[in-house]
Structure 1
Amino acid sequence: MSETSLAEHEDRWIMNLRGLAVTKISVSYQVLLHLDSDARVELGCPFTLTQGVGDDRQEVFLDPGRQDVAATLGLFGAKVLSAVAFKTGSLRLVFDNGCHLTGRADPSFEAWEVLGPGGWRIISTPGGKLTVWSGRSTTS
C-alpha cells in the first residue's frame, strides 16, 4: 500500500484501506474504529450499519451522540474491502463480514473523519463538503 493511498475521481475519493482490520472500537460521543497501520475512522454523527442482502438485509441506525452504537461491535476483526468518500460528504465502508457502514454529511457538524496510513486525512465538513489532506497538500 502506498503512503498516499488516495485516488480522486469526479465525484469521490477512493481510500485504499483494503485489507486493514478493525483492531479496536472506542465509544464516547463518537465512534472510533481503529484499523491496522494506525489508520482510523471517526464517526461523530448518526450513521447506518447494514448487514446482509435482499430479504435478509438488516439495517441499523446508530447515533454516537447517544452512545447507541452496540451494533458497531460486530465490526471488530473485520477487514475493509472498500472505502469511498463521496464529494457530497458521504462515506461508505464495506467489510469482509458483509457489513456496510454508511455516513452522511451533517449541515452543522463534522460528520466523520478518516485518517489513513502515511498521514492522509479526509473530513466531511459541515454542509457536505470534504477537506482532504493527501500527506502533501490540502484540497477542498
Structure 2
Amino acid sequence: MAPTPAAKIEIVQNLIHHPNYYSLRIRQLVVNETEITELMLSIFSTDRDSGAERADPLGISVGYTKEGKLAALAIADEARCCIIEFNWRSPPPTRQEKMELLQKHVLCRSIGEIYAFDAAQIAMVLWSELGVKVTRAVDIQSALPDSGRKPL
C-alpha cells in the first residue's frame, strides 16, 4: 500500500492588494540615515489630517553588505516606501538621535503591527547594530509549518 501523501498547505499572500492594482504606484523615497527627519517618519505613525495614531500595518525588510552588515532598511505601508541606507565606514554623529526617531515612529508604535520575513533575525540585527528595539512584529513565515520555513 502506498503511503498517504502529507497534506499540502498553500498560502497565497497578496503583497499588494488594491482595486487599481495595475495602475497603483507606491511612492518611493531613498534616503541616507543622516537625512532622516521626524516629519519623514511620522507619516508611518500619525495621521496627517487628524493627528491620531495610525494602526495600519507596516512591512519592513533589510539588505546587507557583502560583509554581512546592515546596509538598508525598507519600510512600507499601502501607499509609500522609505528606504534608509546606512553608512558603516563613517557612522554619523547623529545616528543615535535618528535611530530614536525610527524606533518611535516605525519600529515601536503603540498600535499597528509590523510584518516581515525572518522578523526575529531583523529585530536582532537592528538591536545589535543600531541599538533600536522592535515591537509588535509578526514573522510572515510563522504561518508555515516548521519544515517549510527557510531563512531568506
Same fold (TM over 0.5): no
More strand by share: 1
Larger Rg: 2
When normalised by structure 1's length, the TM-score is 0.31
More helix by share: 2
When normalised by structure 2's length, the TM-score is 0.30
